[in-house]
Amino acid sequence: MKVTVGVCGGIAAYKAAELVRALQKHALDVHVVMTQAAQQFVQPLTFAALTGHKVITGMWETPDESGGSAASSIEHMDAAQTTDALVVVPATANILAKFAIGIADDFLSTLYLATTAPVIVAPAMNVNMWQHPATQANVETLATRNVRIVSPESGYLACGMTGAGRLAETEAIVEAVLSVLHHRNDLVGETVLVTAGGTREALDPVRFLGNRSSGKMGYAMAEAAQKRGARVILVTAPTALRAPADCEVVSVTTTEEMRQAVLSRLEQASIVIKSAAVADYRPKVQAGQKLRRSGPLTLDLEPTGDILREVVALRHPGMLVIGFAAETDDALAHGREKLMRKGADAIVLNDVSREGVGFDSDRNAVTFLTQDRSIEMAEMPKRELADHLLDEILALRRPRQVLAEADAGLPVAAGD
């Protein structure tokens, strides 16, 4: 597989050489692109010698004798199409801003726009630059666009300051590259049925009983599964979101509509992810006309069907069924109880009382609960979290012994 390393102009540019070596140890064919500024820190010849390939140093220059080369506009399209991943090390505040806005004024920024391969950025810069709202907003934008961020570490920085901004360890960057490459196509052949959003139960023609679910987590799951090669059926209650491209979208409003949409497609699904927040009750009688104000009002409600339990009851062999639980109190106990009661393979437990995560947020922190495991997933963008959840969902298919060995830090058998 071919990996392109984009080197930017930062003091950590020399560490890109170490990364190139580390990636080669995993039998990856590494190519290097350098920005103008990067060449102030490291000679292109270093990377040319390490990789055995010409280093692309600019859009228009003629070949020089230092190992750098010219790149024609055709060449950047070729590089964009043939690479399996683009990893930018160190990613400066400048390149993050260019990527976020879509400026293409040099080879690396053009390559970023032109490639459909996964992109990983490992930022490194002065602590104030890293913490600046502009940089943080750009990083957030890139994360929501599916760029994998390998966050910088805290420590003593080359500028003499101490704080976050030091390039992540080479191993962490290598791990991100390998995981991104590994993700490609690991869901080929699977049909993933995802439910998303919050269902609504009408009280009258203008009002409904609903909930605060934005659908973002479910849409992130659908997009991540689709990117990894699955066929995705997204059964969605109303949201303000644009459905990921190439998913089969089924729009529903009520719990009963969602139930029918899910059950009628269950045959086709190999993995069911029930991230929707489903109304548990609906009005017994729906007013045909707008309810008028006239003193206190009592609503007579009846329970809706529990779709997750029905899915579990009707599942076919080999199907994985994953539920979600949004809890406000005693989250772990409620999550465990729900796992048992619903009979799902796993519950993604969401403590929505925590600030900054959960409903309508772009970020989330969850616990992945199975019969015998409880995996904490720290706060991160929902799209990134979706990939971690899919990793764990797929791991449910692996024999338990292998999981136990992985937990104990023992080597996992080849092929896993």
Catalytic residues: 159
Q: Taking contact as CB under 6 A, which single stretch among the options 147-155, 301-309, 364-372, 395-403 is the one that binds ligand CTP?
A: 301-309
CA angle 16, 17, 22 (to 5 degrees): 95
Q: Are 312 and 288 in contact (CB under 8 A)?
A: no
Between the alpha carbon of residue 85 and those of residues 172, 176, 199, 380, the distances in Å are: 16, 11, 38, 22
Of 184 and 334, CB closest to ligand CTP: 334
- Residues forming a β-bridge with 322: 273, 346
State both tokens at 332. 């772990």
- 57 makes contact with ligand CTP (CB under 6 A): no
Q: Are 6 and 123 in contact (CB under 8 A)?
A: no
Query: Distance between CA 61 and CA 58 in Å, rounded?
Result: 6
Q: What is the dihedral of CA 361, 355, 384, 269, to 10 degrees?
A: -70
- 308 makes contact with ligand CTP (CB under 6 A): yes
Query: Distance between CA 293 and CA 273 in Å, rounded?
Result: 40
Nearest distance in Å: CB 347, ligand CTP: 7
Of 44 and 218, CB closest to ligand CTP: 218
Of 19 and 217, CB closest to ligand CTP: 217
- 248 makes contact with ligand CTP (CB under 6 A): no
Of 152 and 323, CB closest to ligand CTP: 323
Nearest distance in Å: CB 196, ligand CTP: 9
Q: Taking contact as CB under 6 A, which single stretch among the options 63-71, 80-88, 226-234, 302-310 is the one that binds ligand CTP?
A: 302-310
Amino acid identity at 59: M
- Site residues for ligand CTP, 335-374, by CB under 6 A, read 338
Amino acid identity at 82: T
Q: Which of 30, 149, 276, 319 binds ligand CTP (CB under 6 A)?
A: 276
- 235 makes contact with ligand CTP (CB under 6 A): no
List residues binding ligand CTP (CB under 6 A). Answer: 255, 274, 276, 278, 280, 304, 306-308, 323-326, 338
